[in-house]
Chain A
């Protein structure tokens, strides 16, 4: 029996636009995964702590303020420093195409830019972890 994926859906920084985060969280949950939603205004440190406490496989960041570069860097470094570098970090939000390579270079597993279809997140997780851990 494979453990279903546990996902931390996180809203870092001051940006309070949580429509996307909530819709994606429900989409993941309805697909059969366990989703923990942090609520708004989380610091990168709080997100790392929550990821460790909840023992998640994936941290999904939703950022619509444009501050994705530094937030992603801090979360990824924080996880690495806590021996949790194996936690997969994904990010979605108002991110320009030209920022994607730099985000991937710092270790973001997948960047979901504006216009991504709703099912793209689940498709990525199936591909990354195998369908048995998603559905």
Chain B
């Protein structure tokens, strides 16, 4: 727009504001609590060159999408986060989900497994198989993949502290079936920093944990070209209360922390950056979420190119799995979560997600039943195939509002990143409790906002109908017998294995850890000798030390 036209628009806008008393209109705030204009115009998007700032899909800076034709080629990968009980229980559920049309599986591990504890550890009591599948030894992993095609099935493993051990087990199962590591695909979350910030599934101290993270990255870079060695989890922090800007800023800071460590290891950025992916939470503020994902794509591309010197375009892509965070769902009138979920899903798609794990409506109560899991998949399928949103790439691009918001959110995410940089990077900002405090403060702010009614949740703080009874949901109940079966199998494995071989493999692991070797090949041997997850993590803790939580509220 030339300056004469801009001038005319500016005048028209001023007149309109006066004539229509725009200042007296009810105010509106964005999700961060900052004011939004009543309307956005070309004046809000006039700065900057289209090709430089927005461009075309699949081209730098990737604002409009990471691939040229996006969902025209294929819709996002639909997976359901799933796992419970023993490996047999989960294997049966996975087969059901795949028959229903899921594109792969996203493995949920129970808390003892995520904490590197064996099922018979006293600390694991009551938790075995409760929130995910229990994995103690390679024997469990073999059963988990029984009659499933390892060479074509894509699994995403939600596991951080013991990620190296789970990867070793996966490689070992493949080897037993005659598959090379290079033939195996999948994704490992392998994001320890987010656990230190938010969800607490930690074992080793920060330095030791990062050593294992980078061992995985290095091993996969050299031997597993189809495997995504880390998936940076903003969602864990968002679910703990982070704002959408903090989620992106802290996740990027954590990712940069890993990248710097991998570079120190002697890898070059273009060797591994094409396989960095992200996992973010999406709320129901549709336009803001879409703008945030556009901003994240542009900022990440710029960081990779300008800050880290990446040359390959594939290294610059912000690829993400998006999911409506479970914390956006409510216990009151749980059917309403289906609608919340569908809108959040729409934001994900308009935001350009590569994959989705859509939560089931009973998320506030328990892990899903088969029926609610099917509804979660159907929601995605209806959106993909009936609504027409897949026909054109980035349909909201060019909206004055969305473009202005994209610019604003990019600045704000970068601001969060600079703050972490000024504290010495992600690891330092976590050890000092900085990220944890910032997130707790935001969680408190939004909780107060909801209490005061400024943040509307239908059926919770507005349009509450006291006559609606709490529903009797058929929810998934934990099966204590499954825990018993799991402990029995662990005992049986312990009784049958070659004890000397296990000891030798664990000694070898300790020596390797002390010598600073890449531990993945050593772990493959240890799990193949049927050393347990707990034994392995204890051996590593002996060398690397345990994490001490900085307790903050």
Contacts and interface: CB of A to CB of B under 8 A. Distances in A.
B327 A19 contact: yes
B493 to A, nearest CB: 22
A39 B440 CA distance: 13
Interface of B is mostly: loop
Contacts of A13: 111, 126-127
B241 interface: yes
Interface residues of B, number: 42
A72 B448 CA distance: 28
A97 interface: yes
Interface stretch (A53-61, A75-83, A115-123, A127-135): A115-123
Contacts of A67: 126-127, 130
Contacts of B451: 117-119
B444 A22 contact: yes
Given A35-B553, A114-B365, A70 B111 contact: no
Given A22-B443, A22-B444, A115 B553 contact: no
Q: In the complex, which range does the number of interface residues on chain A fall in?
A: 35 or more
A23 B447 contact: yes
Nearest to B333: A115
A19 B444 CA distance: 9
B327 A18 contact: no
Nearest to B201: A16
Interface of A is mostly: loop
A70 B125 contact: yes
B450 interface: yes
* Chain B CB within 10 A, most for which of A9, A67, A71: A67
B396 interface: no
Contacts of B475: 96
Given A14-B115, A65-B111, A118 B450 contact: yes
Contacts of B240: 17-19
B450 A115 contact: no
B77 interface: no
A39 B127 contact: no
* Chain B CB within 10 A, most for which of A19, A71, A96: A19
A23 B241 contact: yes
B123 A43 contact: yes
A65 B127 contact: yes
Interface string B447-487: 11011000000001100000000100001001000000000
A35 B440 CA distance: 15
A-B residue pairs, 7 tightest by C-beta:
A16-B200, A114-B331, A115-B331, A39-B551, A14-B111, A67-B126, A40-B200
Interface of A: 9, 13-19, 22-23, 25-27, 29, 35, 37-41, 43, 65-67, 69-71, 94, 96-97, 113-115, 117-119
